[in-house]
Amino acid sequence: MVSVPAYRARLLGVYDFDTGEPIEGAEVVDVLNRASSLTSKTGTLALLFLPDSGSMIRIQKIGYQPTTMVVSISPADTVPITVLLSRVAQALPTVVTKETGKKVISPGLQAFEARRRLGAGRFITEDELRKSDNRKMTEVIRSAGVTVQCGRRGPPCYAVSNRQSGKTALTIGSCPFVVYLDGMRVSETERDLDKMQVSDYAGVEIYSGAATIPAEYNMTGSSCGVVLMWTREK
């Protein structure tokens, strides 16, 4: 019997964007060679049917918006992948309504809420941030259990982990978190927490380990951790 290396069974989990519930029977198709498999009751499957190095896959299920992504299969790519599928909106008769003042939530904050329900990272909600509008972002991040490291004379200040990192402008041994603003990765100078006003943000997500980082943000250089920040819709 031929043994299969553990990395060949990289795990994929498919969940409902709105509820966070696992999606059973979602079809995962290798776009290049047409091999496919279905997710289990837990919404998961092992990507054993993908070739070494990986491929492009399409995740689809009736009633949901399909999504396509590139997946790597190698000894260096073993972190489980989480995919959130949005339900397809059904066409309804035109209804005339009066303004109710209900707040419209952006797609970014909808994804924030979906991941918060799954509970893989640490989350600071808009309500919590509003209570801290007069505090510094460095204090807010520290209160979430993350180390903040500043220069000898103060700013710049960065969120860091205790992992070792050879590429950093900070003190030797520190490992700065990668920061995304509204889904876009920011530069080293832009992730200075001292320059951020708490009142500008509606949500903060903190992922301290590679195993918890959402797949779309788990890029090269993210091993120290990732902070996702979402601007407030005033």
* Domain boundaries, position 117: 107-231
Contact 202, 232 (CB under 8 A): yes
pLDDT surpasses 90 at 199 = yes
In this predicted model, what pLDDT tens digit does every residue of 67-91 receive, in sequence order?
A: 999 899 999 888 889 999 999 876 5
The one-character DSSP state at 102 is P
**How far is 192 from 188, CA to CA, in rounded Å?**
7
Residue 98 lies in a domain: no
**How far is 96 from 30, CA to CA, in rounded Å?**
44
113 and 215 within one domain: yes
132 and 52 within one domain: no
| Total tally of structural domains belonging to the chain | 2
CA neighbor of 202 nearest in space, from 133, 145, 139: 133
Mean pLDDT of the chain: 85
152 and 80 within one domain: no
CA neighbor of 79 nearest in space, from 191, 170, 210, 225: 210
In this predicted model, what pLDDT tens digit does every residue of 12-67 receive, in sequence order?
A: 999 999 999 999 999 999 998 889 999 999 999 999 999 998 899 999 999 999 99
Q: What is the pTM of this model?
A: 0.56
CATH number of the domain enclosing 177: 2.170.130.10
Question: The dihedral of CA 70, 226, 180, 118: what is its sign?
Answer: positive
pLDDT surpasses 60 at 166 = no
Percent of the chain at pLDDT exceeding 70: 88
205 and 122 within one domain: yes
pLDDT value of position 98: 60
pLDDT value of position 223: 81
